[in-house]
A = this chain, B = another copy of it.
Amino acid sequence: MDYPKAISDLIESFALLPGIGMKSAERFAFFILTKMNDEDINRFGDSLLKLKEAISRCPICANLSDQENCAICDDTTRDPNLIMVVEDLKDVIALEKTKTFKGKYHVLNGLINLSKGIGPQDINVEKLLSRLDNAKIEELILATNATIEGEMTAKYIKNLVSDKNINVSRIAYGIPVGGDLQYADLLTIAASLEGRKKY
C-alpha cells in the first residue's frame, strides 16, 4: 500500500522545498491532516494558488508588490534622489524595519553569479540606468551582500555608472553591533579594519 494520492501529492510538494526531505515532508503532511484546522488549511492553499497572480513587480523599482506600483515608489514623502540598490524584497523589508532610510529602492531580483550562468542581463540593472538618466540622483547606495556575488554585482554597477557623475557608496561591513571581535571570522575582521573611521 502506498499513501493515498491526496497525501502523496502533498508530501511530494513539501519535498520540493529547500532543505526538506521525505521524512519532514511526511511529518508536515500528517500535521496538516490531523492537527491543522480547516480555516488554516484553506488559507494556506489559497495563498499558494493566488500567489503568482497577486504578486507582480513594481514597474519602477522591480520590487515585489501586490499593487500597481510598490508602496515605497508611490510614497511622495521619500527622497526620489537617493536610491538604494538591493538584491531582493527580503532586503527591502529588513532595511525598512530599521526606519533609517528615507530614499527609494532599486531591487535587482538576483545577483551576478557567473558559475550559475547568471550574467548582468539576467538581473534588473538596465532599468536602473534609465532611472539614473531620467532623474537627478544625488547618491546611489549599493547594499548587496558582502559575498562574492554581491561584491561582483556592486563592482559591476559601480563601473556601469562611473561616467554619470553620481556619488556611489557601499554600505559598511564589519563586526556586528553587540558582536565580539574574538568570535568574528577573518574576512569580517579585515572588512572592519579596512572600513575604519576617524574617531
Contacts and interface: CB of A to CB of B under 8 A. Distances in A.
B1 A48 contact: no
B16 A36 contact: yes
A18 B30 CA distance: 11
Contacts of A88: 30, 34
A47 B9 contact: yes
Interface stretch (A90-98, A154-162, A167-175, A185-193): A90-98
Given A9-B43, A43-B9, A71-B1, A90 B30 contact: yes
Tally of this chain's copies: 2
Nearest to A17: B28
B1 A72 contact: yes
Nearest to A11: B47
Interface in A18-37: 18-19, 24, 26-28, 30-34, 36
B47 A42 contact: no
Contact of A13 (B43, B72, B89, B93): B43
